[in-house]
Amino acid sequence: MKYTQLDIAPTVGALLGIDIPDKDGDVIKEITDFCADKYIDQILLMIIDGLGAALWKKLNGALARLKALSDHGLFFEISSLPPRITTPNIGTILTGYTPEHHLLYKVADTFYTPVRSILELASEKGVKSGIVIELLGAKSMSNRVDLAIGVENIHGIIDYDQRITRLALKAFDLEEIKLMMVHLRALDNCVHHYAKAWDDLVFSAQTIDENCQKFCSGLRKPTLILVTSDHPVHVDKWAYLEDGNQDVPLMVGYVSPAPDDQP
């Protein structure tokens, strides 16, 4: 069974006891089975911008912490949906609807849409949900979820991702968020703006992996971590790295701090 980006929101919904009306995706049973014997206090959905399945394999050493997480959990190669652009594809991941169904093509579309993502559906059901993303995206989600934190890229994309990570960890602790989505952009930003050689991609991937490590060591409650990407590399110069493959990885990990570490 080949899964797609449409299946992520229905799967998160199933774990939270929420059915998405008219969803286009299905529940990934391997994930609900993986969770069946675990106590899960909170869910982190991490979207790494611009990481296709073929690039993932090539970056393996640079993403060691992420690999370890999925080695102890689950790993899928899932189909990405056209148009393979950040906003509509994150829309697909969060809603479980095709782009033709959710119509979220630009950030501006997310302000007044009647379409509700799994984050809004969770919040409405009393499951505190939050999002830590770029400023405009966070503005569009404020009043739709329990906590929307916007981060501006002022000191470079690596600092931006680090602040996303720090703020998300704080929000889990201080606001008791149960479902959190974060968007890490260093890799896609590098590919778009400053990558001159393969080593630049490796460096960017390593910074993503460091943030993953911060999550794994900083989460203070038993947490299900889902890591995926919005689209494979879509910058012409570097697209060859994906070998014509339009899949993205979906990694599933579980972090349970030792009892002494818990508050």
Which positions from 230 to 259 touch Zn ion by CB under 5 A, shown as an x/- string? x-----------------------------
Which positions from 180 to 219 touch Zn ion by CB under 5 A, shown as an x/- string? --------x-------------------------------
> How many angstroms separate the first and last alpha carbons of the chain?
41
**Do 4 and 24 meet the contact criterion of CB atoms below 8 Å apart?**
no
> Considering CB under 5 A, how many residues would be counted as binding Zn ion?
5
Judged by CB under 5 A, the chain residues 145 through 164 that form the site for Zn ion are none
Min separation Cβ 4 and Zn ion, Å = 17
Residue with tokens 């910058």: 235
Contact region with Zn ion (CB under 5 A), list: 82-90, 93-101, 204-212, 246-254: 82-90
Tokens of 96: 């479980």
Min separation Cβ 233 and Zn ion, Å = 10
Tokens of 125: 């059901």
177 vs 131: CA distance, rounded Å? 10
Nearer to Zn ion, 61 or 156 (CB): 156
Judged by CB under 5 A, the chain residues 32 through 61 that form the site for Zn ion are 49-50
Q: What share of the chain is helix, strand, coil (3-state, %, to 5)?
A: 50, 20, 35
Which positions from 104 to 143 touch Zn ion by CB under 5 A, shown as an x/- string? ----------------------------------------
DSSP string covering 51-72 = --HHHHHHTGGGGHHHHHHHHT
136 vs 100: CA distance, rounded Å? 23
In the list 70, 86, 92, 204, the residue contacting Zn ion (rule: CB under 5 A) is: 86
**DSSP bridge partners of 147:** 130
Contact region with Zn ion (CB under 5 A), list: 12-20, 150-158, 225-233, 254-262: 225-233
Which of these, 256, 261, 246, lies nearest to 224 by C-alpha position? Answer: 256
Residues contributing to the site for Zn ion (CB under 5 A): 49-50, 86, 188, 230
